Amino acid sequence: MAIMQPPRVSAQLAAALIRLRDQFKPQQRLAHDPLGIVRSRPETDREVVAHVAALLAYGSVTQIRRAIERVLDALGEAPTQTLQSWREGDFLRRDPGFIYRMTTAADVDALLSALAALLQRHGSLKAAFSACDDPTSPDIIPALTRYVAMIRAEFPPDVARGARYLTPDPATGSASKRWLLMLRWLVRPDDGADLGCWTEFGARRLLMPLDTHTARLSRWLGLTNRQTVDLRMSRDVTAALKQIDAHDPISFDMALCHLGIARDCLHRFEFAVCSRCTLAGLCVFSASQMTLSPS
């Protein structure tokens, strides 16, 4: 089977994406992003809080942040310290009525108990992830696959599907957006938004976390020809972005994502909005329209 090459990124698109990234002020968007909650915590707790925040990051931002804060309330002021003496069932005892969409208190308890087991065995979640990593691997997916298996091995035998939904497995071809988002937060250098906690794993090995906004924009900008949002699409988009920044391809993620969150991209052509966009004339909606005057 022939290996599909990523779409070639034009010099015009590359320049526009660099401009979008460099003009974006991530710190100003933290109040509208789960990362803001992680960023507000002490450095000693950020890897634990990042796991909670990223794995609950499905749905609207307001609902996500509310669910994260509720879980963190049960973990107290020092989540890492709390997990060092954690026992299975502790979350069920602390907040038995928790429910967020398809995630129940039992699902959260299974996740926190697994993270606690890794912390108690390895000393930190970074050390646990490192035990799964082969630094010669070109991207982070083999390490992530082993890490997910390590976490799921700690789940009770009768664990519900909800706990597995919280911990998507890249071995199935899943886009694993929430895991890749968490790795972006932890691995990328500290830029006032991303955290720089796990820089040893290398930003160049990260893959694009594809949510609704970034998946659509990636197709409309020609960064991928795939329609299915899966791991192959994430690798495709990342390979395209590496043509622009080989060392930190995921540095474009937050700026692209927040175009949609801030409604600076409406996922359709509207002259008043599109004419102000840094990417005007480069996406499929505006490419044939920007020469026209508003009706």
pLDDT per residue over 267-288, tens digit each? Answer: 888 888 888 889 988 988 888 7
Residue 264 has a pLDDT of 85
The average pLDDT across 160-175 equals: 93
Per-domain boundaries in the chain: 1-25+207-295, 33-206
Write out pLDDT tens, residues 184-239: 999 999 999 999 999 999 999 999 999 988 999 999 999 999 999 999 999 999 99
The average pLDDT across 55-78 equals: 96
Residue 269 has a pLDDT of 83
Residue 157 has a pLDDT of 86
Residue 1 has a pLDDT of 40
Whether pLDDT at 243 is above 80:
yes
Residue 160 has a pLDDT of 77
The average pLDDT across 5-28 equals: 92
Whether pLDDT at 262 is above 90:
no
Share of the chain above pLDDT 90, in %: 83
The model's confidence at residue 290, banded by pLDDT at 50, 70 and 90, is: low
Share of the chain above pLDDT 70, in %: 97
CATH of span 1-25+207-295: 1.10.1670
Whether pLDDT at 260 is above 90:
no
Whether pLDDT at 3 is above 70:
no
What is the per-residue DSSP string for the chain? Answer: -PPPPPPPPPHHHHHHHHHHHHH--GGGGGGGSTHHHHHTS-GGGHHHHHHHHHHT--S-HHHHHHHHHHHHHHH-S-HHHHHHT--TTHHHHH-TT-EETTEEHHHHHHHHHHHHHHHHHHSSHHHHHHHH--TTSSSSHHHHHHHHHHHHTTS-TT--HHHHHHS--GGGT---HHHHHHHHHHHS--SSSS--SSGGG-GGG------HHHHHHHHHTTS----S-SHHHHHHHHHHHHTT-SS-GGGGHHHHHHHHHTTS--SS--HHHHTT-TTTTTSTTTTTTTTSPP-
The average pLDDT across 158-166 equals: 88
Q: Of residues 107 and 158, which shows the higher confidence score?
A: 107
- Mean pLDDT (the chain) is 93
The model's confidence at residue 4, banded by pLDDT at 50, 70 and 90, is: low
Write out pLDDT tens, residues 101-157: 999 999 999 999 999 999 999 999 999 999 999 999 999 999 999 999 999 999 998
Instruction: Provide the token pair at 109.
Output: 């308890």
Residue 289 has a pLDDT of 73
The model's confidence at residue 294, banded by pLDDT at 50, 70 and 90, is: very low
The average pLDDT across 86-112 equals: 97
